Homo-oligomer: A and B are copies of this chain.
Amino acid sequence: MKPIRAAIFGGSGYGGSELIRILLFHPAVELALVTANEHAGKRVADVHRNLLGLTDLSFESAAEDISSLSNVDIAFFALPHGQALNLIPQLPKGVKAIDLSGDFRIDDADIFKRFYKNERHALQSEFVYGLTETNREAIRSARYVANPGCFATATLLALAPITASGLVTGKIVVDAKTGSSGSGAKAAANTHHPQRSNSFYAYKPFQHQHVPEIEQHLGALTDVRNELVFMTHSLPVSRGIFASCYLETTNNLTNEDVENMYRKYYEGSFFVRLVDGSPDINWVKNTNFCDIAAHSNGRQIVVFSAIDNLVKGAAGQAVQNMNLMFAIEEKTGLVFAGGNP
Minimum C-beta distance from A171 to chain B (A): 7
Is A199 positioned at the interface, with any CB of B under 8 Å from its CB? yes
Closest to A280 in B: B201
Is A317 positioned at the interface, with any CB of B under 8 Å from its CB? no
Is A279 positioned at the interface, with any CB of B under 8 Å from its CB? yes
A50 touches B200 (CB 8 A): no
Is A340 positioned at the interface, with any CB of B under 8 Å from its CB? yes
Of the residues B197, B227, B339, contact of A21 by C-beta under 8 Å: B339
Q: Which B residues are in CB contact (< 8 Å) with A281?
A: 198-201
In the complex the two chains form, what is the Cα distance from A51 to B273 in whole Å? Answer: 11
A53 touches B242 (CB 8 A): no
Which residues between 255 and 304 of chain A lie within 8 Å of chain B, taking CB atoms?
270, 273, 275, 277-283, 285-287, 289, 291, 293, 295, 297, 300, 302, 304
In the complex the two chains form, what is the Cα distance from A74 to B45 in whole Å? Answer: 36
Which residues between 323 and 341 of chain A lie within 8 Å of chain B, taking CB atoms?
335-341
Of the residues B231, B237, B302, contact of A302 by C-beta under 8 Å: B231
A206 touches B295 (CB 8 A): yes
A205 touches B53 (CB 8 A): no
In the complex the two chains form, what is the Cα distance from A125 to B18 in whole Å? Answer: 46
B200 touches A335 (CB 8 A): no
Q: How large is the interface on A (under 10, 10 to 19, 20 to 34, 35 or more residues)?
A: 35 or more
Closest to A298 in B: B206
Copies of this chain in its oligomeric complex: 4
Q: Which B residues are in CB contact (< 8 Å) with A300?
A: 171, 206, 227, 229
Is A59 positioned at the interface, with any CB of B under 8 Å from its CB? no
A244 touches B233 (CB 8 A): yes
A283 touches B340 (CB 8 A): no
Q: Which B residues are in CB contact (< 8 Å) with A185?
A: 192, 194, 341
Is A306 positioned at the interface, with any CB of B under 8 Å from its CB? yes
Which of A14, A49, A236, A341 counts the most chain B CB atoms within 10 A?
A: A341
Is A193 positioned at the interface, with any CB of B under 8 Å from its CB? yes
Is A177 positioned at the interface, with any CB of B under 8 Å from its CB? yes
Q: Which B residues are in CB contact (< 8 Å) with A237?
A: 197-200, 236
B179 touches A194 (CB 8 A): yes
Minimum C-beta distance from A197 to chain B (A): 5
In the complex the two chains form, what is the Cα distance from A14 to B193 in whole Å? Answer: 13
Closest to A238 in B: B194
A199 touches B282 (CB 8 A): yes
In the complex the two chains form, what is the Cα distance from A24 to B291 in whole Å? Answer: 21
Closest to A21 in B: B337
In the complex the two chains form, what is the Cα distance from A124 to B287 in whole Å? Answer: 41
27 A–B pairs (Cβ distance < 8 Å), ordered by A: A14-B341, A17-B340, A18-B339, A18-B340, A50-B287, A52-B273, A53-B289, A54-B337, A180-B197, A187-B189, A193-B238, A194-B239, A197-B236, A197-B237, A198-B282, A200-B235, A200-B242, A201-B279, A201-B281, A201-B306, A202-B244, A202-B277, A202-B278, A202-B293, A203-B277, A205-B304, A236-B237
**Which 7 pairs from chain A and chain B are nearest by CB?**
A194-B341, A175-B175, A199-B282, A201-B280, A202-B278, A180-B193, A181-B194
